[in-house]
Structure formats: structure tokens, C-alpha cells
């Protein structure tokens, strides 16, 4: 952990990072190992996630704990899945592929966000979207990450993130209209 602390600028950042490192390191390893089925690769993904977290520590340091965990979890999962896919393409993976995307991405996170945020109805609609749409919208609007930053976190191109964001907003708009969330604005115009 010492090598991470050297990369941080303030005592507040070091204290925050130490806290999340101690709190989440084991859970992160279990998630990565569950995807990769290789403890060495899982340790690498945990390390890479912590290194990437250092770049954005100033944006999440004052966030609610569940938002910090969600950000860490999304970053870790995408890194592990990307490594798995790279290894699979090269024929290096001989894993049991009985796991599915639903197993990888806990649905509890959207439920936690729904209960914790003021806009719980809107979040319940976001929850109905595909996982990739949820991730982009959450990183975009809850964490205020730029398209480039989201692309880095998710391991996608900036164009891909823009397309996902556009499609997610279109789908969300349809859900909002179907649930009559804009009735007041429509009747007033």
C-alpha cells in the first residue's frame, strides 16, 4: 500500500485511500478472482484498479461510501472482464464459462442508489436499462466524469461511450414518458 500513498498529494487523500484500501481490498480480490479464476491475475486487476483510483481520488473523496464502492466495483469488473476477453481471444483461457453477465454485475447496487438518492423514481427507471447504459449514466451524472474518463474506466472508446450515453438517454426518456413523470410540464404548456 505504501507505493499508492506515495502517489497521493495530501494527507486527506492518503487517509481516504488507506481507509478504502483496508475496507475493500479483500472484496475486490474476490470479485476479480470470481471473474478470472486466477489469483495472480485477480491481484493484478486489484492493483490496476487502485492505481486508476488515484487519478480520480479528488472526485470521489467526498462521495457517499456506496458511490465510492460502486465506482471501484465497476472499474474492477471492467478491467477483469477485459483481461478475460483478451485472454480468451488469444486462447489462453480454459475457464468454466457458466457465469453470466448478471452474475458479475450485482443488481443490489441500483437498489442501494434508488433508496439513497432523492430522485428514487428516476433511478428505478435507470435500473431498468441495460447494465452498460446504467454504468455510463451513473459515471456521467453521479460522478461527473468526462467521456474520456468514462472510456478509461470502462475500457471502451470515447465514441462508444458517447453512443451508449445517447442510447441510454433515449431509452430513459421513453421510460420517463411511459411512467408519466413529465405530466406537470406537459399540462402546463
Determine the Cα angle at 157 with ends 154 and 163, to 5°.
Answer: 95
Main-chain phi, psi angles of 93, to 5 degrees: -105, 130
The pLDDT value recorded for residue 62 is 81
Per-residue buried b or exposed e for 107-129, using 16+ beta carbons within 10 Å of the residue's own CB: eebbebbbeebeeeebbbbbeeb
Domain boundaries, the chain: 1-95, 105-189
Distance in angstroms (rounded) separating the CA atoms of residues 35 and 85: 11
**CB contact at 8 A, 28 and 75:** no
Per residue of the chain (189 residues), what is the pLDDT tens digit?
556 666 677 888 888 888 888 999 999 998 888 888 889 999 999 998 888 888 878 777 888 887 888 888 888 888 888 888 787 777 765 443 434 444 444 434 444 443 444 455 777 788 889 988 988 888 787 666 788 888 877 888 999 999 999 999 999 888 888 877 664 444 444
**Which pTM was predicted?**
0.53
Q: How many CB atoms lie within 10 A of CB 3?
A: 9
Query: Which H or E run contains 183?
Result: helix 183-188
- 1-95 and 105-189 share one CATH topology? no
CB 77 within 8 A of CB 104: yes
Locate 21 and state its grid cell. Answer: 484500501
Report d(CA 103, CA 114) in Å as an integer: 20
139: cell is 459515471
Q: Which of 80, 86, 70, 71 is nearest to 37 (CA)?
A: 80
CATH number of 1-95: 1.10.1740
Cell numbers 411512467 correspond to what residue? Answer: 179
At residue 81, the pLDDT reads 83
HSE (side-chain half, CA atoms, 13 Å) at 10: 6
Nearest in space to 28 (alpha carbons), one of 11, 13, 48, 9: 48
CATH C-level class of 105-189: mainly alpha
Say what the pLDDT of residue 59 is: 79
Amino acid at each position: 500500500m505504501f507505493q499508492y500513498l506515495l502517489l497521493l498529494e495530501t494527507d486527506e487523500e492518503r487517509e481516504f485511500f488507506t481507509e478504502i484500501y483496508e475496507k475493500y481490498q479483500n472484496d475486490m480480490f474476490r470479485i476479480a478472482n470470481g471473474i478470472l479464476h486466477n489469483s495472480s491475475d485477480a491481484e493484478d486487476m486489484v492493483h490496476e484498479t487502485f492505481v486508476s483510483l488515484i487519478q480520480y481520488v479528488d472526485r470521489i473523496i467526498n462521495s457517499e461510501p456506496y458511490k465510492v464502492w460502486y465506482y471501484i466495483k465497476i472499474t474492477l469488473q471492467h478491467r477483469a472482464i477485459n483481461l478475460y476477453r483478451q485472454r480468451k481471444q488469444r486462447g489462453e483461457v480454459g475457464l468454466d464459462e457458466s457465469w453470466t453477465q448478471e452474475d458479475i454485475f450485482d443488481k443490489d447496487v441500483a437498489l442501494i442508489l434508488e433508496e439513497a438518492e432523492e430522485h428514487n423514481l428516476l433511478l428505478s427507471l435507470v435500473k431498468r436499462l441495460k447494465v452498460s447504459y446504467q454504468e455510463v449514466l451513473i459515471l456521467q451524472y453521479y460522478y461527473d466524469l468526462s467521456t474520456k474518463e468514462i472510456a478509461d474506466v470502462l475500457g471502451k472508446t470515447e465514441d462508444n461511450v458517447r453512443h451508449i450515453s445517447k442510447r441510454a438517454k433515449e431509452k430513459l426518456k421513453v421510460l420517463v414518458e411511459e411512467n408519466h413523470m413529465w405530466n406537470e410540464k406537459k399540462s402546463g404548456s
